[in-house]
Amino acid sequence: MEDAKKERILVIEDEDHIAQGLELNLSKQGYEVRTAKDGLQGLDKWRTWKPDIIVLDIMLPMIDGFSVLRTIRKEDERVPILILSAKGNTASKIKGLKYGVDDYLAKPFDLEEFILRIERLLKKKEWYRQTGSAEQPEKEYAFFAGKEYVFGPNRIDFVTCKADCIIGKTTLTEQEITLLKIFITNRGRALSRGKLLKAGWGYTSDTTTRTVDNFIVRFRKYFEPNPKKPKFFKSRRSVGYIFDHND
C-alpha cells in the first residue's frame, strides 16, 4: 500500500550518470522514479505512466526539451515541470518560462537545492489537487487558463509573459504571472494575503505577508492610471486585496 502512494517523478535526461544519480537520490527520498533518454521516450512515458512531476533536460536526442515542454503544455497545464539544464543563460530561462516551465535549475547544481525544489513543486501540485472539496477553501484560488487578458488599457499575454500597460511594454516574472492568474480567476472577490502566499509560493517559511504587498505595489505601477487611487487592484481592510474592473 505504501508503494501505491509514492509520488512519481519522470526524469528525461540523456546523460546516464546524471539520470542514474537523480534516480538513486530521489528514490532514497521515497519517490518512485523512471527515466527516459530522449524526448520521444520522455513523451511516451509521460503519457503512459502519468508522473506527478517531470525533470526535463533541454539538450535531448530525437526531440529537444523545449519541444517536449510545449507538447506537454498543450495537453496538461498543471503537471509540474522542472528544467535541469547546462543552459543557464537568461535567454533559455525566459524561453522556458514562456513555454510554461514551473522551475529552472542550471547544471552543475546542488543536490540539496534540487530536492527542495522538487518538494516545493509537489506541495504546489497537492494544493492544486485540493479542488472540489468544501473543506478546502484554498481550492477557490484557481488559475486563469486563457492566453490573453484585457482590462482597462492593459493587455496581458500569458504566452509571452509580456504586458502592454500604463507604463508601456513590460516583461512579467513567473511569480507576477502566477498572482495575476489567481486575481483574474477570482475577479471581484477579496483574497487574503495568507492564502495568496500559499497559492503563489507553495509553502511560506521564508515569505511574509509583506511579500504580497510588494507585488501589489508593482501591479499598481504597471496597470493603474493613478497608483495612489487604484481602480483595479484595491485594498480591503483586515482582509487583503480585490481585483475588479467594469470592462
Q: What is the mean pLDDT of residues 125-133?
A: 51
When the pLDDT of each residue in the chain is averaged and rounded to a whole number, the result is: 84
Which residue has cell 518560462? 97
Four-point Cα dihedral 43, 73, 101, 54, nearest 10: -30
**Range scoring the smallest mean pLDDT among 3-7, 164-168, 188-192:** 3-7
Instruction: Provide the CB-side half-sphere exposure for 160 (13 A, CA).
Output: 11
How many residues would you count in the chain? 247
Distance CA 22, CA 28 (A): 10
What per-residue confidence (pLDDT) applies to 8? 95
Distance CA 47, CA 28 (A): 25
DSSP state of 55: E
Which residue has cell 503544455? 73
Grid cell of 171 as nine digits:
516583461
Confidence band of 48 (pLDDT split at 50, 70, 90):
very high
Confidence band of 146 (pLDDT split at 50, 70, 90):
confident
Confidence band of 134 (pLDDT split at 50, 70, 90):
very low
pTM to 2 decimals?
0.54
Write out pLDDT tens, residues 177-222: 888 988 988 888 888 887 787 766 554 444 455 778 889 999 999 9
N-terminal to C-terminal alpha carbon distance within the chain? 52
Identify the sign of the CA torsion 230, 236, 239, 243.
Answer: negative
